[in-house]
Amino acid sequence: MSFIPGQPVTAVVQRIEIRKLQHGEHLILGFSIGGGIDQDPGQNPFSEDKSDKGIYVTRVTPGGPAEVAGLMMGDKVMQVNGWDMTMVTHDQARKRLTKKDEDIVRLLVTRKSLEQAVRHSMM
Amino acid sequence: MMQEPQEMVEETVTIEEDPGTPTSHVSVVTSDDGTTRRTETKVTKMVKTVTTRTVRQVPLGPDGLPLPEGSSPLGSYTDSIDRRYLKNGERYITTPQATSTLTRSYNNYNDSYSDALPPDAGGSQYGGRHYGLHDGYGIGDATDNYGSLSRGVNFRPPRYPYAMANSYRPENSYGTLPIRKDDYGHVAQPQVPMGSSSVDLNRSQPERFQPEPYGLEDDRRSLGPEEEEPYDLEPDYSTASRRQGTLPGTNRGRTMREPLRDGPRIRGYEDPIEAELIDERHPYIHGMYPAPLAQPERGSMASLDRLAGRRSPSIDSIRKDPRWRDPDLQEVIAMLGHPIDPVKSNAAAYLQHLCYENDKIKKDVRQLKGIPVLASLLDHPKAEVHRKACGALRNISYGKDHDNKVAIKNCDGIPALVRLLRKTNDMEVRELITGTLWNLSSYEPLKMVIINHGLQTMTNEVIIPHSGWEHEPNEDSKPRDAEWTTVFKNTSGCLRNVSSDGAEARRRLRECEGLVDALLHALQSAVGKKDMDNKSVENCVCIMRNLSYHVHKEIPGAEKFTDPSVLQAPGSAGPQRKKKDDAGCFGGKKAKEEWFNQARKNGENDKNYDTLDLPKRTEPTKGFELLYQPEVVRLYLSLLTESQNYNTLEAAAGALQNLSAGQWTWSNYIRATVRKEKGLPILVELLRSDSDKVVRAVAIALRNLSIDRRNKDLIGSYAMRDLVSNLPSGQQRPAKNLEEDTVVAILNTIHEIVTDSSENARSLIQAQAIEKLVAINKTSQSPREDKAASHVLQTVWSYKDLRNALTKEGWNKSHFQPTATGAPKAAKNGKPGYDDTTLPLMEKNQGTKKNGSGDMIPMDELGPDGYSTIDQRDKDCKYKSSGDGSVDLTEREPLKNDTNRKHYVRSNRPAVKLVDACEVKPQPVDSWV
């Protein structure tokens, strides 16, 4: 996803709604995140350019709630329940996802294949 | 854990390289230095050739003299020309070949003709980079659309000054030349002054030539940039012209040349001659004549218009000279359907050139539906046409944009390529085809398609013949050696990529008749010739490694070879003795199994583990059975000893790792054979390698090998120090700075070695490992390293007879227990010392879960194979050591070292470290939610 500084970012996004799963005393989503503005973006294996400090889905538990909801490894999380995730620290993102009082999380995610699909359809 | 066909790794690598290598011929040249350079070399050669001719001519020069300035009729250009001549003359005069060359060129006219484009392209090469250079492409006289790119813009200005009356005249003469234009031939571009016929001749000849060389290597053009420099030779016209074309702003030839007017036009000199030739040889050209000739300006455009069904706007373009512009992309694509073959081939060649290293153009070609047209040209009967089409596809297929690859597949380009491969004997075309397939094979979803359409063909047409292997070798003749041709390299690269596509792909490759036999033969020949560092060998070993993955589970009838007793009999995996085994037929029967059991018992009782009778075969082994015959051990060990190529080393170690995994008869043989062939020291030696992945593959191989009891003892005695020296000590990483995966692999290997062997545990203590292990356990930021180290420590502590020694060294029980959580139980499932808050449940479960069956992290298709799982279980049963299961599991992940994984792993460290430095709580780089 490329952008021009100062211009709004546009991205093809998918809405994903994940119902947390009660697991012992915890509610889990079944995926893990990486990235954040306090992390080294150069290490992010999923971003196209290595300067993106967004939050990315790094792993998805097979059969877990996230996978069921259609989340995929490598997805970039744009929003969580309406909260922007493109400019947050790793920890902020984690907290936003793990609110104990919310058992449904709505994500906006973007991924390359989405953009490609759209591009194809426009061709 | 044990077997990881590091498929991912391979793939990645391959992809990059493929394009590069194959490409080098073609425009594909990667931006990387390596590739580019190669290309250059080739170019150079070509240039030289050209020069030679020129020289000849020089003496012959119209004036009879080396053209002193005044002599040439051309007036303004004279200067430049003369100089060149002189130069050439000096150097090259001697060369005799000119004549022959010329002749050839003429004969080849056709070829050269079509090839002509490439040369330009060559010129464009420069252009390659700048793009503008296309001028060269006579193709379009229209520079327009590409105009921005084209040098036209840059170019022209310089010209004008030079463009004297003389120069213009030539244009008038176009009438004669126009033909070319039609053809797009740059060649065609008639330019310059027709005045001095003799001069023209000279020049023209040289030029003619050029086409040839270039033609052969289309892409060389990409190389173009280099051409300019070194060669004074350039002086050649042909060369010169190219350059000029190419180097718009540039100097040399160019500037000088300019007088001639445009680079392209320079060729014009030749034109007259060529034109005639053309007439004679290519009757069809005449067809085109009418329009273009009459109006030179419209030359090529005329055809374009027709094709495109519209008049291109560019005609009236910005260009000062309305006559020349490059066709726009749409027009070029339209030309692919032109009824006249040379137009098609030139258009395709031009496309190839345009696409060189330009993702944007590739995408545009795709969107303009150019790819299906190119693919359809693959079936064109004329070599020139399908060759150029193939070249264009190769460039288009290169790069990260998988959509281009998919587009080629969607128009049935893959079967078309394969068909052409069967049909053509032209080496260059075969290189292009296999290069394209290699590029395509880098994209996961296309792998199976390639297997379905091309596997047997690639094997029969390329792999077998080039490997030197013969179905039925003639007993009298010496076995043939493999030839490391580009075609072989490309094809093996393609197969290497597709071999990583999972169990089904492996099955298909294994069962592909002659493939395994040929690959093995090629490798043996490489070892014989001590030529083991090249890419082809690397590709072959990687294929072998991938095909060896899970052989014990995937080979038909494999279950007959499994050792039933192994599960219940821990540590008994030692080699068994076996009298005769009709292994070839997988005829294992009940009797045999019983026999195995018995053998096992014998083996246990009788400590002579070195006794190992390999099964005798009544008929020679062939096909995939060769993969796991103990004979391959020697081959891999030779590679491990001799090769300097890290990828080859890693793959060879990986192959041994795969073969020594699992509990079946053959892996028992393999493990014993490695020992008997003195392979253990070779492997241990490689633990000192500078390459992370080599160390890792070797470590895991040693772990698998130590399933054999005797091996375990030996490895414990001789490898411990090298293993330990690879461990980080505390915050300080060893000099090598191994990745987490590697460290974990080493720790797990150590764990395997000390399990069930207090002797080995003692060696471990003596190797000063405890300090490192405790440090890792305490301070490592990696939960996986942590856990692995913790398992080793627990195992060591479990040997009561060692505690005394440990206590003496100042250690106490607390050092051997998992940190953080403290309770050994927690350690089992979990990751000691990890901040749990960040990792709610899932995290904690991670260990457990893995234990179960699923991989937490489906990084790639390997995971599912679950080989490791099985193994782990076995181990659990066997050793009952507490955290064992989880250890293995952990390893699994590492095994999948795909690139992602690596990044991921790496990411862990730095971040953590930084945090650490500040004494802040480690920041989770990756959090389960």
Sort out which chain B residues have CB atoms less than 8 A from A90's CB and list them.
Answer: 923-925, 927
Distances (CA, A) of B257 to B32, B43, B159, B232, B249: 31, 20, 9, 13, 12
Per CB-CB distance under 8 Å, the chain B contacts of A46 are 900
Q: Is the confidence at residue B762, as pLDDT, over 80?
A: yes
Q: Of B446, B426, B448, which Cα lies nearest the Cα of B436? A: B446
B845 vs B651: which has the higher pLDDT: B651
Identify which of A23, A26, A43 has the shortest CB distance to residue B906: A43
Residue spans per domain, chain B: 326-442, 445-470+481-561+621-648, 678-815
As a whole number, mean pLDDT of residues B816-830 equals 47
B427 touches chain A (CB under 8 A): no
pLDDT of residue B758: 87
Would you call B848 exposed, middle or buried from its count of C-beta atoms within 10 A (0-12, 13-18, 19+)?
A: middle
Q: Collect the ranges in chain A with pLDDT lower than 70.
A: 1-7, 9, 123
Top pLDDT among B278 and B133 is at B278
CA distance B777 to B798: 17
Range name among A6-15, B388-397, B768-777 with the lowest pLDDT average: A6-15
> Of B167-181, B298-312, B699-713, which gets the smallest average pLDDT?
B167-181
Q: What single letter denotes the amino acid at residue A12?
A: V
Q: With CB atoms and an 8 Å threshold, state whether A31 touches B926.
A: no
Least confident of B182-196, B521-535, B612-626: B182-196
- B357 conformational bin, left if phi > 0, alpha if psi -120 to 50, beta if neither: left
Q: Is B367 on the interface with A (CB under 8 A)?
A: yes
pLDDT confidence bin for B321, thresholds 50/70/90: low
Nearest CA in chain A to B907: A43
Judged by average pLDDT, the poorest of B109-118, B277-286, B820-829 is B109-118
Q: A43–B841: do the CB atoms touch at under 8 Å?
A: no
Spatial neighbors of B179 by CB under 8 A, at least 6 apart, are B188, B274, B275, B278, B279, B285, B288, B289, B292, B293
Quote the pLDDT of residue B615: 61
Looking at residue B695, its pLDDT comes to 93
- Determine whether the interchain pair B841/A24 forms a contact, defined as Cβ–Cβ distance below 8 Å: yes
Q: Is the pLDDT reported for residue B667 higher than 50?
A: yes
State the CATH class of domain B326-442: mainly alpha
Instruction: Say how many CA atoms lie within 13 Å of B568 toward its Cβ.
Output: 5
* Average pLDDT of the segment spanning B333-361: 92
pLDDT digits (tens, 9 = 90+) for B851-898: 332 222 222 333 222 222 223 333 333 333 333 322 222 222 222 233
B906 in A contact zone (CB under 8 Å): yes
Name which residue leads in pLDDT, B8 or B725: B725
Q: Which amino acid is at B889?
A: L
Q: Is the pLDDT of residue B53 over 60?
A: no
Could you tell me the pLDDT band of residue B458, with boundaries at 50, 70 and 90? very high
Enumerate the residues of chain A whose CB falls inside 8 A of the CB of residue B902: 45
- At residue B58, the pLDDT reads 34
Average pLDDT of the residues of chain B: 61
Spatial distance between the Cα atoms of A91 and A80, rounded to a whole number of angstroms = 14
- Mean pLDDT (whole number) for B328-355: 92
Determine the Cα–Cα distance for residues B200 and B260; give it in Å rounded to an integer. Answer: 12
**B910 part of contact set with chain A, CB < 8 Å:** yes
Which residues of chain A does B926 touch, with a Cβ-Cβ cutoff of 8 Å? 32-34, 58-59
- Round to whole Å and give the CA distance between B206 and B278: 17
Residue B355 has pLDDT above 50, yes or no: yes
Residue B600: band (very low, low, confident or very high) from pLDDT cuts 50, 70, 90: very low
CATH class of the B678-815 domain in this structure? mainly alpha
**pLDDT attached to residue B375:** 94
- Which residue of chain B is at minimal alpha-carbon distance from A122? B367
Round to whole Å and give the CA distance between B54 and B209: 10
pLDDT over 90, % of chain B: 30
Distance of residue A8 Cα from the nearest chain B Cα, in angstroms = 24
Q: Which of B120-129, B289-298, B548-557 has the lowest mean pLDDT?
A: B120-129
pLDDT band for position B80 (cuts 50, 70, 90):
very low
* B894 compared with B925, residue with greater pLDDT: B925
pLDDT on residue B395: 93
Summarised one tens digit per residue, pLDDT across range B226-256 is 333 333 333 333 333 333 333 333 333 333 3
- B342-356: average pLDDT: 92
The closest of A110, A36, A101, A99 to A75, measured between CA atoms, is A110
Q: What is the pLDDT of residues B539-571, one digit of tens each?
A: 999 999 999 999 888 888 777 776 655 444 344
Tens digit of each residue's pLDDT (9 = 90 or more) over B411-425: 999 999 999 999 999
From chain A, pick out residues whose CB is under 8 angstroms from the CB of B911. Answer: 39-40, 43
Q: Is the pLDDT of residue B509 over 70?
A: yes
pLDDT of residue B732: 56
Provide mean pLDDT across the span B682-700: 92
CA pair distance B886, B828, nearest whole angstrom: 7
Residue B273 above 70 pLDDT? no
Residues of A within 8 A of B838 (CB-CB) are 94
Mean pLDDT is lowest, of B176-190, B639-653, B744-758, for B176-190
For residue B470, what pLDDT is reported?
85
* Higher per-residue pLDDT: B326 or B823: B326
Residue B670 has pLDDT above 50, yes or no: yes
According to the model, what pLDDT value does residue B342 have? 92
Interface of A with B in 54-93 (CB under 8 A): 58-64, 73, 90-91
- Name the class of domain B445-470+481-561+621-648: mainly alpha
Domain residue ranges of chain A, discontinuous segments joined by +: 13-122
| Burial class, B412, CB count within 10 angstroms (exposed 0-12 / middle 13-18 / buried 19+) | middle
In this prediction, residue B556 carries a pLDDT of: 80
Determine contact: A94 vs chain B, CB below 8 A.
yes
- State pTM to two decimals: 0.52
pLDDT digits (tens, 9 = 90+) for B572-583: 333 333 333 333
CATH architecture designation of domain A13-122: Roll (2.30)
Which tokens in the block code for residue A30?
Answer: 């079944």
CA distance B23 to B28: 4
Under an 8 A CB cutoff, do A28 and B841 touch? yes
- The proportion of chain B whose per-residue pLDDT surpasses 70, expressed as a percent, equals 46
